[in-house]
Chain A
Amino acid sequence: MNIVLEANHINKYFKKPVLFHVLKDISFQIKKGEFASIMGKSGCGKSTLLYILSTMDTDYDGELYLNNQLVTNQDRDHLSYIRNKHIGFVFQFHYLLSEFSVLENVMLPAKKLAEKSYQEIEYDAFEKLKMLNIEHLAKKRASQVSGGEKQRIAIARALINNPSIIMGDEPTGNLDSHNAENVFNIFKKLSIEQGLSLLIVTHDDDFANKTDRIIQMADGKII
């Protein structure tokens, strides 16, 4: 099976307020179509790891490969392009641009990528919303929809450029159990039907137990 994401001996230090070794020699791989979750106690470094994997944090030692290409030490503009094209992100909080409509929020990363015409992007965005059963919200302002709906919109936005991998930082952490279940089912469906790779950081044991693979972390190490 193809390897989508590979981390090779990643070390990370926090220099302030005191020198602290957050991530200790992390190495693992995510295969195509794999639904993996990272678990661990608060402060064990799982979110820190996720932000390194997402290319947003560049201050680390070791090597990171995405689709078998070295990502480490690329310039920031290229990293932005990689995030735009290959990585979809879902946060704990919904993080939509509240002044824009739902449809515009979903379309924005594709407009930035500018590989398709406006009509194609709009059509794609509608398809993604339809897939998540929220196409009726398309014209609403992002600030006017409920929490569960916002998270689904965020997922639609993460999917718009057909990324290689979806990363989530506790995407269900702020949702009630019904909506959390809903979001999990969406992820599961994407993984099975579209062969999408997912890497989700979570606290939720129920959520983690249903995934293909659990990466357990403690004190900056994988155990």
Chain B
Amino acid sequence: MTNWSVILGIAKTHLLTKIKQTSIAALGVTFGIGSYITLVCFMTGLNAMLDNLILNQTPHIHVYNEIEPSKNQPISLYNDVAESFNVVHSIKPKRSQKKIHNALPIISYLEENKDVRGALPQVKTQIFYIAGSIELGGNLTGINPVSEARLFNMSDYIVEGSAEALEHTDNSILLGIGIAKKMSLKVGDRVQVSPINGGIFPLKIVGFYQSGIADLDAIQSFTNIKTVQRILGEANNYITDINIKLYDIERAVPLAKKIEQQFKLTAIDIKTANAQFETGTTIRNLITYAVSITLLIVAGFGIYNILNMLIYEKMNDIAILKATGFSGKDVQLIFMSQAMIIGFVGGVLGLLIGLGLTSLISTIPFQTEALPTVETYPINLNPMFFVIGFLFAIISTFLAGYLPSKKAKKIDPVKIIRGQ
């Protein structure tokens, strides 16, 4: 039978009379947990921001027609030389159409797949931006602006104007910010574009696009799919790319394979396209956790040290308690409860400090060309981090308290009393 009120009463008196030591031990936990929360929220916030930078704009599967040489050259059709060693020089790519055959039925077929959040058609083409006598090369992509904004966070990269304006205005263009600067254009102006096969089309600027990658912003512009089809003089089933967004990114690889087989198209999944990027994320996470765990372990040793000292100071008290009828277990519980109280108070304070610091960091301005929509440092306030931090405070103080309290349990009162 354990008499908790007596044990907690003794623990409380010990802690309160040594308030300085107690607070130092608790502060060790507080700083450990506080810096863990701050670090992990800040680092994962930055990581998520970097991930989104790539992942938000990138389709999970990109389907298009690859220009490539035929796998079977004519010579392989001749049975006469089948046994010979054939060498073909100067292989040229096969002439194939850029457009995806039967694109619209394929899109409606993909949309029915339960893994697919959306499949969006795009028309990509090279054009020239014409400013007086100067022609600037560039890319024009025809999109469904509102759907694009919904699935690929397009509106994060529109610094002026909106996706809706692009959708609803005929012959409009969302101009790359780099081109706009070069040509001193502003929203509402007209810009003339010319496709490779000739002709000049004036388009109305409804907004500017900034991806954060300067090279891209200097060539890339967006417009309505219909507008591009009109510029190219193609029918409304002329689609060059299909971008697919999935509910679960892990499904990208098998689905991409299936699409390639089923439609004889090239389908690149996000994992293949961004393999090096994922490695970077993994390593950054690894560093975050290594640093956090180090911090928490240091805090744990602090508690261990202070409890050890406390027990040496309290040898006499332990002997008296045991002589007057407290069992070894009672004595152990007294010191364990001291450790747990330190861990609990220090842990809760640490969570508060972590919350305070992260809130502070999230108000610090962070402006960069690369990220037009980010204004302050990103913080990932995941409740899971707080749960982990608190659990670690409790577990580490438990372990740090366990060894010294075990020693207190084993102290032989006779030795202490006779040793005086």
Q: Do A and B bind each other?
A: yes
Q: Which residues of A contact B (CB under 8 A)?
A: 47, 51, 54, 56-57, 76-77, 80-81, 83-85, 89, 91-93, 95-100, 104, 108-109, 111-114, 157, 161, 169
Q: For residue A109, which residue of chain B has the nearest CB?
A: B324
Across the interface, do A47 and B418 meet the contact criterion of CB distance under 8 Å? Answer: yes
Q: Which residues of B contact A (CB under 8 A)?
A: 1, 3, 5-6, 9-10, 13-14, 17, 316-317, 319-330, 412-414, 417-418, 420
Task: Quote the shortest CB–CB distance from A116 to chain B (angstroms).
Answer: 12
Q: Which residues of A contact B320 (CB under 8 A)?
A: 95-97
Across the interface, do B3 and A83 meet the contact criterion of CB distance under 8 Å? Answer: no
Across the interface, do B323 and A56 meet the contact criterion of CB distance under 8 Å? Answer: yes
Q: A56-B414, A80-B325, A157-B324 are in contact. Are A100 and B13 (CB under 8 A)?
A: yes
* Neighbour of A169 across the interface among B17, B317, B417, CB < 8 A: B417
Across the interface, do B325 and A84 meet the contact criterion of CB distance under 8 Å? Answer: yes
28 contacts between A and B (CB under 8 A): A47-B418, A51-B414, A51-B418, A56-B323, A56-B412, A57-B414, A76-B327, A77-B327, A81-B327, A83-B323, A89-B323, A91-B417, A95-B323, A96-B320, A97-B321, A99-B13, A100-B13, A104-B13, A108-B321, A108-B324, A109-B324, A109-B325, A111-B6, A112-B326, A112-B330, A114-B1, A157-B324, A169-B417
Task: Give the A-B pair count, Cβ closer than 8 A.
Answer: 74
Give the complex CA separation of A109 and B325 in angstroms.
7
Q: Which residues of A contact B325 (CB under 8 A)?
A: 80-81, 83-85, 109, 112-113, 161
Q: For residue A75, which residue of chain B has the nearest CB?
A: B327
Across the interface, do B327 and A80 meet the contact criterion of CB distance under 8 Å? Answer: yes
Across the interface, do A93 and B420 meet the contact criterion of CB distance under 8 Å? Answer: yes
* Neighbour of B3 across the interface among A77, A95, A96, A111, CB < 8 A: A111
Give the complex CA separation of A136 and B413 in angstroms.
31
Task: Quote the shortest CB–CB distance from B342 to chain A (angstroms).
Answer: 17
Q: For residue A169, which residue of chain B has the nearest CB?
A: B417
Q: For residue B325, which residue of chain A has the nearest CB?
A: A84
Q: For residue B327, which residue of chain A has the nearest CB?
A: A80
By CB atoms of chain B within 10 A, which of A85, A100, A157 has the most? A100
Q: A83-B325, A99-B14 are in contact. Are A56 and B317 (CB under 8 A)?
A: no
* Neighbour of A80 across the interface among B322, B412, B414, CB < 8 A: B322
